Amino acid sequence: MGNLQDLLKEVDEILNTSQNDKEDSKTDIENPIDDELLTNLNTYFSYSEFRKGQREIIDAILAGENVFAVFPTGHGKSLCYQLPALMLPGLTVVVSPLISLMKDQVDTLRSRGITSVSLLNSSQTWDEYRHEITRLKQGKIKLLYVSPEKLRSRRFLDLLNTVLISLFVIDEAHCISQWGRDFRPAYLSICDAINTLYPKTIALFTATAPPEIRDDILSVLDISEPKVLVEGIERSNLRLGVLESKKKEGKYALLEDCIDTFSGKGIIYAGRRIETEEITEHLQDKNIRADYYHAGREPDERSYIQDAFFDDSPDGLEVVVATNAFGMGIDKANIRFIIHWTMTGTLEEYCQEFGRAGRDGEDSDCLLFYYHDDRKLHEYFIRESAPDKPALLKLLQELEQYKDVDGYRMMAMDELEWKTGIKDAKIRVCLSYLEKLGFLKRWFNVPSRFSVRLRHDVNADQTVNPELFSQLQKHKATDLLTFSQSINLNPRFVMEQLTEIQSEGHLQYWGQEDLMLIQLLLDSDMFESFSEEQMGFGDYVQRKKRRIDRMVYYAASMECRMKVIREYFGEDVSDDYKCGTCDRCQE
What pLDDT is recorded for position 22? 42
Strand-pairing partners, residue 338, are 267, 366
What pLDDT is recorded for position 25? 40
H or E element in which residue 446 lies: strand 440-447
H or E element in which residue 41 lies: helix 2-45
Q: How far apart are CA 579 and CA 236, in angstroms?
A: 7
Tell me how many degrees the CA angle 171-269-265 measures, rounded to the nearest 5. 90
Give the full edge-to-edge strand order of the sheet including 408-411. 408-411, 513-520, 440-447
Q: In a 10 Å sphere around its CB, with 0-12 CB exposed, 13-18 middle and 19+ buried, how is residue 470 labelled?
A: middle
Q: How far apart are CA 443 and CA 490, in angstroms?
A: 13
pLDDT tens string, the chain, 587 residues long: the values are 555 556 555 545 554 554 454 444 433 434 455 778 888 898 889 888 998 899 999 999 999 999 999 987 777 889 999 999 999 999 999 999 877 788 888 998 999 999 999 998 766 776 788 789 889 999 999 999 998 888 877 778 888 999 999 999 999 898 888 655 556 667 777 888 998 999 999 999 998 888 888 998 898 888 888 999 988 778 889 999 999 998 878 899 999 999 889 989 999 999 999 999 999 999 999 999 999 999 889 888 998 999 999 999 999 999 999 998 887 667 788 999 999 999 999 998 899 899 899 988 899 999 999 998 888 888 888 888 889 999 999 999 999 999 888 889 988 888 899 999 999 889 988 998 898 888 998 887 777 777 676 666 666 565 656 777 777 777 666 778 888 888 888 888 887 777 666 656 666 666 656 688 899 999 998 888 888 777 778 788 888 899 999 999 999 999 999 999 999 988 889 999 999 999 999 98
Q: How far apart are CA 338 and CA 240, in angstroms?
A: 10
Q: How far apart are CA 266 and CA 334, in angstroms?
A: 9
What pLDDT is recorded for position 24? 47
Return the amino acid letter for 83: L
Q: Answer for the pair 207, 355: CB distance below 8 angstroms, yes or no.
A: yes
What pLDDT is recorded for position 405? 87
- Nearest C-alpha neighbor of 490 from the set 451, 453, 517: 517
Strand-pairing partners, residue 460, are none
Beta strand pairing status for 335-340 and 265-269?
A: parallel
Q: How far apart are CA 36 and CA 97, in angstroms?
A: 31
What pLDDT is recorded for position 29? 38
Instruction: Read off the DSSP letter of residue 1.
Output: -
- CA distances 8 to 12, 17, 20, 21, 228, Å, are 6, 14, 18, 20, 48
What pLDDT is recorded for position 117? 96
Return the amino acid letter for 296: G
SS3 228: strand
What pLDDT is recorded for position 320? 97
Q: Answer for the pair 145, 139: CB distance below 8 angstroms, yes or no.
A: no
Q: Is the pTM of this model over 0.95?
A: no
What pLDDT is recorded for position 30? 44
H or E element in which residue 561 lies: helix 561-568
Q: Answer for the pair 395, 434: CB distance below 8 angstroms, yes or no.
A: yes
H or E element in which residue 509 lies: strand 507-510
| Residue length of the chain | 587
Q: Answer for the pair 555, 242: CB distance below 8 angstroms, yes or no.
A: yes
